[in-house]
Structure formats: structure tokens, C-alpha cells
Amino acid sequence: MEIEINMINVEDGDAIILTLKKEDKKALILIDGGYKKYYPKLKKRLEELLPSFDNKIDLVICTHYDNDHIGGIEKMLDDYHQIIQEIWIHKISDTLTEQVSLMKSELDSIEKIEEEYKRFKTLAGINEHQDFLIIEGYRDLLRVSEKLIQYDLESKTKEPTRGDYLEGFEEFTVISPTAKYYNSFLHELKGETFLKDIRNNISENKMILESFEEFTDLQEIRKGIDLSTPCSRLEKSSLKNSVTATNMVSIVTLLKANDCKYLFTGDAGIETFEDQNILDEDIKNLDWLDLPHHGSKNNTSEIMLSHFNPKTVFVSARGTANRPHYLIKQCLKNKETGDNIFVTNSDEETWYLKYDENGNTERILNT
């Protein structure tokens, strides 16, 4: 099978175009759309690839609804709704119409506290924070849901669970979530708890602490702290480190072809892999791994990395000390990976990183 992975440089977000060709079949798959502001980069690459794929997008996967993944999807639907064959997206209600009305009422209540929240943010001197991104992601999901209705695409949507695959390409399967795991987060996904979390964060001044995370990491490096056992110093839980429900149920997919294994992880976390008992032979000793959550230290454990033991790692990230986290990089150095770790934005001029079935990595620069 001919395989091409195009990881667009959208900093800490995901926009990946995967193309597959075998015998008489071919497929162009889009995994997430990155932040809205980077959509032109994604579109440019799509335009280049589409003519070789009968001008069809065979599958769009919305791994989860954070705006660094779903933001570009809205614009993509405007441009390509007529040529999309199938969409994998999880819902928080039975139908998109119900989902839209639920989200509108949740957002109404958020808007009431948002002013207070913004004031706090200004006082703390923080320009950007995860909670705002959660609200933005929620708004993006609302807009994407409305577009799917507007373009009459609901019948093309599917809520994929473990074991599902792309028609004609049994090599491309869903690894996570199982329906049971997804449903265990449904209450949170509906937004009933995230409003509460945001209020708690305001009261706990948690935002200030988080903004120092990267600073502390850098200090540790400067202090020359012992890096001889980096793997054992990795996190053991995502949930205890405030990784959100929508991240934990990200659609994780596996491509198994030409005796190679390629794993696409979205922003899934440690419990996604460890609690669902899915660390089996299928995802052991990978040839290629998309590191979860842009290389955040909260989403990757020692157990995961020993199991994955990947030959090549791609990270869609800014390329700072905590994205990908230096302990993860250090741990991978002692695995099959060694120095085969490629970060999209480690060179800001990068348009996309490309990987093919022969194991070649190419960094394509903006022109």
C-alpha cells in the first residue's frame, strides 16, 4: 500500500492528511482541521492532493471538539461539503439538532460568567488559558454541528467506536474509545461539569500556577537535574492532571499495512490506553506514532512509551520545552525512537511534515 502522512504545522493543534493507495482503491482521510487561523495551510495541501484522489475527501475525522482540532473543520465544510463521503464525529446528544439546542443553552449560561472570568484573566496577566479554549472549542463544535445540518451531512456522520474501520480499508481501524468508555464521560462532555470547573479554577487561582509550568520545566533543565531516568518520571495519570473529558475520548486510529503500524492518537490520555486495556499486540512496537496531545507531559506514561516503543515519532507542536515535554523526548531517546522525533514547529518555516510507506520523513517549508 502507498501511504502518505501529511502533518500540517498548526503549532499545538492537529491537522493531518493521510492518503492511502492500494490496487484499485484509494482514500484521502483528513484527521482534524487545526486552529481556524491555520486553515489556509491545510487547504493549500488539500488542493494539491485532491486531483489524485478523484477530488473526493473519503473520510473526515473530528477526533474531539477542542478548537485546535475542530477550528479549521468549519471552514473546510464550507469549501468541501459537496465532496465529503463520510465524517466520524462523536455527539453529545442523539441528533445534531438536539445537540445544537443543548449547546446554545449551555453557552448562554457561560456568557453570564465570562465577563467576570475575563477580568480575572486580566488581573492574572494571562493572555490565553485552557478554560477559554474549552469555551472556544464548545463554540466551534456548535458551529460545526450547525454546518453539518446546513449542508445536509448528518446522514454521512458516524460515531465510531473501537473496531470500526473505513469501508474498503480494513487496515484503518478505530482503537479508542469503546462505546462504554465514551458514555462514561458523556455527562462531562455535555458541559454540565465544565462550567463548574471553570468557576473552581477562578477561585483556586489555578491559572496562575499553570502559566508557570513551562517556566518551572525550563528551570529544572537549567539546574541540570538528573535526566538518567526520564521514563520513570513521566506522569501516571491524565485525569489527575486535569486532562479534559473531550481529550480522553479522542478518536484514536490505527493503520496496519505493509507489516507496519501507524498510530494516530488525537489528544487521548494515559487512562484512555491503560484503563480500557487496549495496550495489546496491535499497538505494540509501532513504526510511527503521533504523540498524544502535542507532546504534553500529562498524556503520556512510561507504560505507554514502553509498549509503543515507536521507530518514528511525529509531534504536532510548538517545539518548546513542554511541547513536546523534555522528559518524553529524553525517554524516547532510549527506545527504538532515538533521535527519530520530528516536531512540526521546531522550524517555524515548516508547512508540513511528510512521512511515507518507505519510512522517509520530509520537512516541507512554506514557500
Residue placing its CB nearer to Zn ion in the complex, 267 or 287? 267
Report the 10 Å Cβ neighbour count for 37: 12
Q: Is 51 exposed, middle or buried (0-12, 13-18, 19+ CB in 10 A)?
A: exposed
- Residue 23 CB, nearest approach to Zn ion (Å): 35
What DSSP state is assigned to residue 345? G
Span from 101-109, 193-201, 265-273, 346-354 in contact with Zn ion (CB under 5 A): 265-273
Closest distance of CB 203 from Zn ion, Å: 26
Q: Which is nearer to Zn ion, 68 or 188 (CB)?
A: 68
Asked if 68 interacts with Zn ion (CB under 5 A), we say: yes
Shortest Cβ 303–Zn ion spacing (Å): 22
- In whole angstroms, the minimum distance from the beta carbon of 243 to Zn ion comes to 11
Runs of H (alpha helix) within the chain: 39-49, 67-80, 96-124, 130-150, 179-184, 186-189, 194-204, 206-211, 213-222, 245-248, 270-274, 302-308, 326-333
Element (H, E) at 355: strand 350-356
> CB of residue 194 vs Zn ion: minimum separation in angstroms?
16
Which residues, in sequence order, are bridge partners of residue 323?
A: 320
Cα 360 from Cα 310, distance rounded (Å) = 15
Rounded CA-CA distance 316/68 in Å is 11
Burial 140-167 (b: 16+ CB within 10 A, else e): bbbbbbbbbeeeebeebbeebbbebebe
Residue 3 or 251: which CB sits closer to Zn ion? 251
Pick the closer one to Zn ion by CB: 57 or 243: 243
Site for Zn ion in 38-67 (CB under 5 A): 66
Considering beta carbons, is residue 244 or 287 the nearer one to Zn ion?
244
Q: How many residues bind Zn ion (CB under 5 A)?
A: 3
189/231 with CB nearer Zn ion:
189
Which residue, 129, 148, 134, is CA-closest to 62? 148
Looking only at residues 239 through 258 of this chain, which bind Zn ion when binding is defined by CB under 5 A? Answer: none
**Region near Zn ion per CB under 5 A, out of 83-91, 256-264, 266-274, 324-332:** 266-274
Contact between 11 and Zn ion by CB under 5 A: the answer reads no
Q: How far is the CB of 14 from Zn ion (least distance, A)?
A: 6
Residue 267 found at the interface with Zn ion (CB under 5 A): yes
| Nearer Cβ to Zn ion (53/352) | 352
Binding of residue 146 to Zn ion (CB under 5 A): no
Taking CA atoms, 164 is separated from 93, 135, 158, in Å, by 20, 30, 10
Residues in touch with Zn ion (CB under 5 A): 66, 68, 267
